[in-house]
Amino acid sequence: MSHYTQWYASPGGQPRLLLVDDHQLNVRVMYEMFRHEFDVFIALNGEQALEKCYELHPDLILLDVVMPRMDGYEVCRRLKADPELADIPVIFITSHFDEADEVHGFELGAVDFIHKPVNPIITKARVKTQLQLKQQADLLRRISQVDGLTGIANRRRFDQQLELDWRNCCRAQEPLSLMMLDIDYFKQYNDEFGHLAGDECLRQVASTMQQAIGRPYDLLARFGGEEFAVLLPRTDLTGAQYLAQNMLQKITQLAIPHPLTPGGIVTLSAGLSSTVPQEQHQPRQLLQQADQLLYKAKQQGRAQLQASLWTGV
Ligand SMILES: [Mg+2]
């Protein structure tokens, strides 16, 4: 499971904790409590807290209830309403125990309450418990999104990410490119060498393509069978074409023997479609066009890329 573990740890390797309180002194006390064990971030009001959540995706939030303008409850409500942030656990910090308040907080989706003045031992224990639960949940989520054979993202993850990238690129009016790739004559490869060799071929192709992808927000997924898909947010047609050609070339350089292809080695065909997403369109349409271009690459002799802008007509 070694390749899963890197997915749920933050880039710094430590869990990320976000402290939200409008009183500097409270923040300082808790910062001292946790700074040795975690990557600790601070927000002094509700708006800042939401900004930090989008920016940092913390693993846990300690959230003061009483704050001017936007209180902790409202912050929590907004977090839980956004699918991108809803899985971040929230522990409320309150100045006194009030059963009705706590019920309200749990109904909003909080996982725990801590009372001021914060007791360091109780607070640390509760924070650790919640972080362990978060890591387990993250791990399960990752596993359910990974293709068992190749270790890259599976179709489910791809579908989710396509929706997300589409929405984000639509909001920012930035280009989104989508690539569909298919191993040429793969059925014949399996027939010739058997399914275990076929599995090994899929693994090699997947890992070589993964290496060709440079940025952490680009996504390579196994779409099904011998078909792969790549999502490239903030990438225009020219940039995506460059990457696609590079991928095809790297697979050719692998020189996996395949006696039933014209060149005697395993090759890829690819369809690439690029657009600046518009609200009146659906991500599915971009996928369909990339798929049609892949079909065209197959029709025109395989081992090639067919690429086009998609403008929605
Ligand atoms: Mg306060």
User: Both 172 and 137 in a single domain?
Assistant: no
Domain end residue (candidates: 110, 143, 176)? 143
Q: What pLDDT shows up at residue 66?
A: 94
Residue among 218, 176, 161, 214 nearest 309 (CA) = 176
The one-letter amino acid code at 269 reads: S
Q: Tell whether the model's pLDDT for residue 4 goes beyond 70.
A: no
Q: Rounded to two decimals, what is the model's pTM?
A: 0.70
Tens digit of each residue's pLDDT (9 = 90 or more) over 29-70: 999 999 999 999 999 999 999 999 999 999 999 999 999 999
Residue 71 Cα to ligand 1 midpoint, Å, equals 8
Does the residue 150 lie in any domain? Answer: no
Residue 23 Cα to ligand 1 midpoint, Å, equals 6
Of residues 107, 163, 226, 279, which has the active-site annotation? Answer: 226
Kindly indicate the confidence band of residue 11, based on its pLDDT and cuts at 50, 70 and 90: very low
Q: What pLDDT shows up at residue 296?
A: 98
Domain end residue (candidates: 100, 116, 143)? 143
Q: What pLDDT shows up at residue 62?
A: 97
Q: What pLDDT shows up at residue 104?
A: 93
Query: Strand 90-94's sheet: what is its strand order?
Result: 39-43, 16-20, 60-64, 90-94, 112-115
User: Both 228 and 286 in a single domain?
Assistant: yes
User: Both 128 and 232 in a single domain?
Assistant: no
Does the residue 189 lie in any domain? Answer: yes
Residue 22 Cα to ligand 1 midpoint, Å, equals 5
CB–CB of 58/18 below 8 Å?
yes
Residue 80: which domain range? 2-143
CA–CA separation, 277 and 53 (whole Å):
25
User: Both 42 and 103 in a single domain?
Assistant: yes
User: Both 190 and 232 in a single domain?
Assistant: yes
Residue 272 Cα to ligand 1 midpoint, Å, equals 52
Does the residue 148 lie in any domain? Answer: no
* 226 flagged as catalytic: yes
User: Both 68 and 170 in a single domain?
Assistant: no
User: Both 173 and 194 in a single domain?
Assistant: yes
CA–CA separation, 263 and 266 (whole Å):
8
Query: Which of 84-123 are b and which e, b meaning 16 or more Cβ less than 10 Å from the residue's Cβ?
Result: ebeebbbbbbbeeeeeeebeebeebebbbbbbbebeeeeb
For the chain, give the percent of residues with pLDDT over 90.
88
Kindly indicate the confidence band of residue 8, based on its pLDDT and cuts at 50, 70 and 90: very low
Q: What are the percentages of helix, strand and coil residues in the chain, rounded to 5?
A: 50, 20, 30
Q: What pLDDT shows up at residue 95?
A: 87
| Tally of domains within the chain | 2
User: Both 98 and 167 in a single domain?
Assistant: no
Strands 16-20 and 39-43: parallel
Does the residue 61 lie in any domain? Answer: yes
CB–CB of 266/256 below 8 Å?
yes
Q: Average model confidence (pLDDT) for the chain?
A: 93
Residue 190 Cα to ligand 1 midpoint, Å, equals 65
Domain end residue (candidates: 143, 167, 199)? 143
Residue 66 Cα to ligand 1 midpoint, Å, equals 4
Residues facing 271 on adjacent strands: 180, 306
User: Both 183 and 294 in a single domain?
Assistant: yes
Residue among 86, 75, 115, 78 nearest 99 (CA) = 115
Tens digit of each residue's pLDDT (9 = 90 or more) over 131-190: 999 999 989 988 999 999 999 999 999 999 999 999 999 999 999 999 999 999 999 999
Q: What pLDDT shows up at residue 144?
A: 93
Residue 125 Cα to ligand 1 midpoint, Å, equals 22
The 8 Å CB, 24+ separation contacts for 193-201 are 199/149, 201/256, 201/266
- Tell me: cis bond preceding 233? Omega within 30 of 0 counts: no
Residue 40 Cα to ligand 1 midpoint, Å, equals 19
CB–CB of 295/271 below 8 Å?
yes
User: Both 132 and 192 in a single domain?
Assistant: no
User: Both 18 and 133 in a single domain?
Assistant: yes
CA distances in angstroms from 236 to 42, 82, 285, listed in the order given: 36, 28, 17
CA–CA separation, 261 and 185 (whole Å):
7
Q: Which two tokens stand for residue 2?
A: 């070694």
Residues facing 41 on adjacent strands: 18
Q: Which two tokens stand for residue 199?
A: 């599995």
For the chain, give the percent of residues with pLDDT over 70.
96
Determine whether 279 is exposed, middle or buried from the number of CB atoms within 10 Å of its CB (0-12, 13-18, 19+). exposed
CATH number of the domain encompassing residue 192: 3.30.70.270
CATH number of the domain encompassing residue 102: 3.40.50.2300
Residue 92 Cα to ligand 1 midpoint, Å, equals 11
User: Both 21 and 42 in a single domain?
Assistant: yes
Q: Tell whether the model's pLDDT for residue 125 goes beyond 60.
A: yes
Residue 44 Cα to ligand 1 midpoint, Å, equals 9
Does the residue 90 lie in any domain? Answer: yes
Kindly indicate the confidence band of residue 93, based on its pLDDT and cuts at 50, 70 and 90: very high
Q: What pLDDT shows up at residue 215?
A: 87
